[in-house]
Structure 1
Amino acid sequence: LAYFIRTDFGRMSFYMGERSLWANMIWVILINLGSILAFGLNRSLWMFISVDEALRVSASVIVSNVIWWLLVVFLRIPEYTRSIPIIAAMIQLILMLAIRLIYRIVRRDSGQRKRQHKALILGAGSAGVNALREITYSDRYDTRIVGFLDNNPKKVKKRLNGIAVLGTDDQMAEIVSQYDIDTVYIAIKNISKDNLKKLIEKCRELNLRTKIVAFELHDNADGTKASVRNVSINDLLGRGELNLNNQEIGGYLSDKTVLVTGAGGSIGSELVRQILAFYPKRIVLIDIYENHMYDLQQEINMDRRAGTMQKGTEVICLLGSVRDKTRINQIMAKYKPDVVFHAAAHKHVPLVEDSPLEAIKNNVLGTKNVIECCIMNSVTKFVMISTDKAVRTTNVMGATKRMCELLVEGYKNNGITKLCAVRFGNVLGSSGSVIPLFEKQIEMGGPVTVTDPNIIRYFMTIPEAAQLVLQAGAYAHTGEIFILDMGKPVKIVDLAKNLIQLSGLTPEEDIEVKYTGLRPGEKLYEELLVDPKDSKKTDNDLIYIAEPENISMDTVNGKIEALKKLVERNDQDNQKIIQTITET
């Protein structure tokens, strides 16, 4: 083609050495093939043409034609025009890029026409552009992007990658109706929790399928790629910035030896992850369940190999039960912890109702063992995980955790170890919590079972709970019972319906909500405080201190002895156990 252009489309071929052109064509082909292989163009996918791909195509064309031109000049090939490689380079570059671009456009448009759902992207910024690329060119999505919405009115009517900014967030209802939108992608970097909740609620009111573009963009061959996920219940119920005082937390954790009981559980394992961020010298993890301990150990090892977790802390994983005082004492004597977080407990209300004496052995006597071992081994600080079910309890699990709180208050004047308990409500996603159960029921097609239409609970995410436990630990001094601000209580039936909607389904139409009745020991509502007036604030707005009851050690010991007798007699009268603990 370059030859024919140079010869005025063949009219000057008599003077230009056509035979010389064809005689040397094999070398031209070999040079170009070598350049294509050298720059890896044979391995590229045309549908993912990008700036990087265009640069490699350009480099390949320039290198091959420069070599060709140098051979023509220095070998002085007879009757061969030196301008042909230059003309060929321009034609080759245009054709190679144009073919790739046309292929990408045709492939994109044909794929888009097959998609049944129309979508908006909320956020006309870098995250939105990356979301557009991901959604448009990936076969994993069933949506066609119609436009952007942005809260900046100056962006309205502008175009990003050919897609228009149709309006602001306030115009969402009108635009959804106008363009028949059924899906929304929220792609706003660094959005606050409160603003995210508002957008999600607005999308739910309009019955839109809602997705979130992750705020971290990952490197790949195509530059950057947005990570799209479903809205989680954490997005609806999680709170924003917790305003932790990392200096205070680091003051009692950094370069210290920390021990965590129940380390393999939901709260215990998250405590471990959060503690490691403060670079303790050593962390000793204890759990009776070897599978949980193994999983946590492997997670830490993998994160360290991946470079996402610091490697300076010595991590020791041990099997052991808080029921075994000798074992706990040996561990503390050997590793000499400065701080102990006590998360080991039986916590599932229905199971504990059927095995009440096991809760006494594990929750009450186990906590007593750990506290006494802390004092014997001069541990500086002891922090126990408690629950809102310890308040005006109607079940054995809550009663045993209340007894643990009384142990903390009873031992507060030991003169060696500073003790405290941290009381909070249900934790989203923890083992045995209602969220995984609902998700499983939805996956199976329903019904979703709720015990009562009026039942309410307080909720907090696992990371939030763990972070506030660490902050409360910094305030521990003399047997305080810290209460975490759990926010507003949530009706469980509303939670179930939200999860159904987040799954793209309609409550009562696609998934039935079935009421099964309250279980033994279950209350319609939980309380974090006996009396909201009898509490005071700490430096953190989300952490309060319940007024101490000034219970005597003699009273605590009396209750312990009574509980031991119930265990010895194998007396499984739940009401007797609750009465023994709660009566004054």
Structure 2
Amino acid sequence: MKDFRDRLSAGLPRLAVVAHDLAMVWLCWTGLHWVRYGFAANPPPMSLWSTQIAIVLVAQGLVFWQAGLYRGLWRFASVPDLWNIVKASLIGLLAISLGLFIYNRLDPVPRAVLLGYPFALIGLLGTPRLLYRAWKDATSERTGRSSVRTLILGAGEAGDALVRDLRRSGAYQPVGFLDDAPKLHGSKLHGVPVLGSIGDVVEIAKETSAKLLVIAMPAVDASEMQRVVAACERTGLPFRTVPRLEDVLVGRSLPGELKEVAIEDLLGRKPVLPDWKAIRSWLGGRSVMVTGAGGSIGSELCRQCARHGAQRIALVEIDELSLMTMEAELRRDFPNLECVAVLGDCGDPAVINHVLAEAKPDACFHAAAYKQVPLLEAQLREAVRNNVLATETVAAACRDAGVGTFVLISTDKAVDPANVLGASKRLAEMVCQAMAEQRSTHFVTVRFGNVLDSAGSVVPLFREQIRVGGPVTVTDAEVTRYFMTIPEACQLILQAAAIGSHEAIYTLDMGEPVPIRLLAEQMIRLAGKQPGKDIAIVYTGLRPGEKLHETLFHADERYRQTAHPKILQAEARSVIADQVVSALRGMREATARYDQIALAQALRSAVPEFQPAQEVSEPHAATIVPFPAREARRI
């Protein structure tokens, strides 16, 4: 009984709208007749109800229903709703004409009534809707006197949609727009004036008593976003931004959500736009295996594979909580996806053989690896065991099982390696090259730089240090790194796999490297604080194995463009398979004995270009460098 009452109460407003519209049809039809014959000397008899009027109401009512006129709400009536009314009125005229032609050959219906009917009906249906919306918007403004006075930066489509959302919520009161287009200055958008340019935000924010700034410019590039953020920071007010369309589509943000500006928004290059058609064509309906499926890269790879058409995903993960969390997320978000979750070490041949037999993958993404540079300098055995020997185990098993594509996820640190991480990943690349000549499996290597917000990376470290009040620790004032986002890294991996050249090494054209000092300063500003004043920056010196600058390309690897403008393919350096196999045999024996000296010798012998970075002879005390008077160049 309660459910019936709920459905009844929910349906009453819609029934009222239907009754209103049919009443407007009746008024329109009879009113036009009265106007037509009102001044005639001998007007024909006119009644308030007749068979003719019944046919008009039935015909027009059916057209209203089919046109979807009752799927929208008057509270949010807009141009699409008015366009629906126009279409319904014109089609309704045809339906009425057909019905009356069958009934009485249209004999008593004046042509003036037929010609004027759709135009009069559009006015009678559209005007109440627009008046109701205007009244509700005005009511929201009056009841929202205590709402936050908000200045919107950007008077484009995003700003148009934003001002509507803010008014509906009642928690924000838009007081003005700022836009750099001079032709918009002095105009109004939904009654909100465009007050000036973005560069005037400090003065205009004071004049309007704004308490919040919202950046409604989701399509601008990183350099423009840096300029806008710098202008917002000068006001001292909190600021937010609207999410990008792609973030909404993939579920990282909600429509209309106001989010803090992330460091990803300020990277010094435009995000890579993948060829989704090629990726979906390659991935659709396939079974894939992901090692390290619970990690930062592995988990996002699983999401993107599921999102773009994979039929089955095998998750291999050694951490039980990460595996359980990732499996639950995939089953929740992709109920039609087949998940094969296996807890185990990918360096264990039995684990990999079991997964291959269970999932029969067409492709393997090998994301499992240790990656912390300073830690691995003192953990050589585990670095070699996990990054090199486990890679050999997985790659050999995939080759023997006839897996179509094996993708090794490598790093820019494998180019001219100066630390154990880089050397072990370079040797893993060589292992894949040595296997590439033996079977039909395509061995693909993908290199990229530092991944923003990945587990153990500098961004979450800085964020935590800022949260607790500092200091933020930077190794050296001159150190630089290449950066990309987690989704972008995974898109590169999928794009490279879709290109699918045999024995290929791919890397991303990542633009200019980012100074870590400037990254720290910008993150402090995004937290609403000032570097060197609210949060100190401490320079601690390079750690063992770290370089000042990373390189993306090796001198002996010739790079050429691929089908994707931002992805480069290297001509792999030749390796001698027998020497690689011999090195691996010696490393397995040294690993079994936990002989780190033998492992170090074997690694240097197998990777001749490995030049360990000179350890700091006397680690100097941490220094706090004064923040310069002039504002440093932003990221």
TM-score (norm 1): 0.74
Equivalent residue letter for 2:607: T
In the alignment, the residues of structure 2 paired with residue 145 and residue 212 of structure 1 have an alpha-carbon distance, to the nearest angstrom, of 14
Which of 144, 148, 159 in structure 1 is aligned with 2:188? Answer: 159
Residue number in structure 2 paired with 1:579: 604
Change (3 A) 1:391 1:102: closer
Identity of aligned residues (%): 39
Deviation at 1:473, TM superposition (A): 1.1
Q: Quote how far apart the aligned CAs of 1:511 are.
A: 0.8
Counterpart in 2 of 1:276?
A: 306
The separation in 1 between residues aligned to 2:593 and 2:337, in whole angstroms, is: 46
Q: Distance in 1 between matches of 2:306 and 2:404?
A: 19
The 1:101–1:408 alpha-carbon spacing in structure 2 relative to 1, beyond 3 Å, is closer
2:441 is the counterpart of 1:405: no
Report the 3-state secondary structure (helix = DSSP H, G, I; strand = E; otherwise coil) of the residue aligned with 1:504. coil
1:162-241 pair list within 5 angstroms: 162-169=191-198, 172=201, 175=204, 183-188=212-217, 190-191=219-220, 195-204=224-233, 209-214=238-243, 226-237=256-267, 239-240=269-270
Partner letter of residue 157 of structure 1?
G
Contact kept, 8 Å, 1:391 with 1:402, in 2: the verdict is yes
Within a 5 Å distance, the mapping from 1:104-143 to structure 2 comes to: 105=141, 107-109=143-145, 111=146, 119-125=150-156, 127-132=158-163
For residue 295 of structure 2, the aligned residue among 258, 265, 269 is 265
Shift of 1:176: 5.6
Partner of 1:376: 400
| Partner residue in 2 for 1:534 | 558
**Which residue among 551, 560, 567 is the counterpart of 2:575?**
551
Query: Residue 429 of structure 2: SS of its match in structure 1?
Result: helix
Supply the AA of the counterpart residue of 1:421.
T
Could you report, residue by residue, the CA deviation over 1:480-509 in whole angstroms, capped at 9, with x for unpaired residues?
221122221001110011111111111111
Structure 1 residues 98 and 290 mapped into 2: Cα distance closer, same or farther (>3 Å)?
Answer: closer
The alignment status of 1:296 with 2:326, answered yes or no, reads yes
1:242 positional shift: 3.0
**CA distance in structure 2 between the partners assigned to 1:368 and 1:379 by the alignment:** 15
Q: Once the 2 structures are TM-superposed, how far is the Cα of residue 572 of structure 1 from its aligned partner?
A: 2.6
Cα shift at 1:373: 0.4
Partner residue, 1:523:
547
The equivalent residue for 1:148 is 177
Report the equivalent of 1:561.
585
Indicate the SS of the match to 2:436.
coil
Distance in 1, matches of 2:10 and 2:207, equals: 49
Which whole-Å CA distance do the structure 2 matches of 1:513 and 1:301 have between them?
43
Alpha-carbon offset, residue 439 of structure 1: 0.8
Shift in CA distance, 98/412, structure 1 to aligned 2, threshold 3 Å: closer
Does structure 1 conserve the Cα–Cα contact (< 8 Å) formed by 2:269 and 2:510?
A: no
CA RMSD of aligned residues (A): 3.5
- The alpha-carbon deviation at position 228 of structure 1 amounts to 0.8
Gap runs ≥5 in structure 2: 1-8, 15-72, 78-131, 249-253, 610-635
Is the 1:289–1:319 Cα contact (8 Å) retained in structure 2? yes
1:468–1:516 CA distance, 2 compared to 1 (3 A): same
Q: CA deviation at 1:546?
A: 2.0
Give 2:354's aligned residue.
Answer: 330
Asked whether the 8 Å contact 1:253–1:339 carries over to 2, the reply is no
Inter-CA distance 578–393: structure 2 relative to 1 (3 Å threshold): farther
Q: How does 1:394-543 map to 2 (within 5 A)?
A: 394-531=418-555, 534-543=558-567
Amino acid at match of 2:195: L
* 1:101 Cα deviation after fit: 8.7
2:377 matches 1:353: yes
Return the alpha-carbon distance in structure 2 between the equivalents of residues 225 and 423 of structure 1.
34
Deviations 1:160-201 (A, max 9, x none): 454311124465576468668785311146555665455335
Aligned length: 483
Gaps of 5+ in 1: 1-34, 41-49, 55-95, 219-223, 305-310
Distance 1:123 1:97 in 2: 24
Matching residue of 1:69: none
- Residues 340 and 440 of structure 1: is their aligned pair in 2 closer, same or farther, counting only changes over 3 Å? same
Counterpart-to-counterpart distance in 2, 1:564 and 1:317 = 28
- With 190-199 and 235-244 compared, the bigger mean Cα shift is at 190-199
Give the AA of the match of 1:52.
R
Paired residues of 1:182 and 1:207 also in contact (CA < 8 A): no
- CA, structure 1 residues 38+541, in 2 after alignment: closer, same or farther (shift >3 Å)? closer
Q: Residues 107, 397 of structure 1: CA spacing in aligned structure 2 closer, same or farther, 3 A cutoff?
A: same
1:30-69 Cα deviation digits (max 9, x unpaired): xxxxx999779xxxxxxxxx96399xxxxxxxxxxxxxxx
Q: Is the 8 A contact 2:583 2:602 kept in 1?
A: no
Alpha-carbon distance, 1:424 to partner: 0.6
Equivalent residues of 1:481, 1:545 under 8 A apart: yes
Aligned to 1:315: 339
Secondary structure of the residue aligned to 2:151 is: strand
How big is the shift at 1:135? 5.2
Distance of 1:190 and 1:158 partners within structure 2: 22
How far apart, in 2, do the equivalents of 1:547 and 1:284 lie?
Answer: 31
Deviations 1:293-334 (A, max 9, x none): 111112122223xxxxxx443222211211101221122133
| CA–CA distance in structure 2, aligned partners of residues 525 and 338 of structure 1 | 37
Q: Secondary structure at the match of 1:270?
A: helix
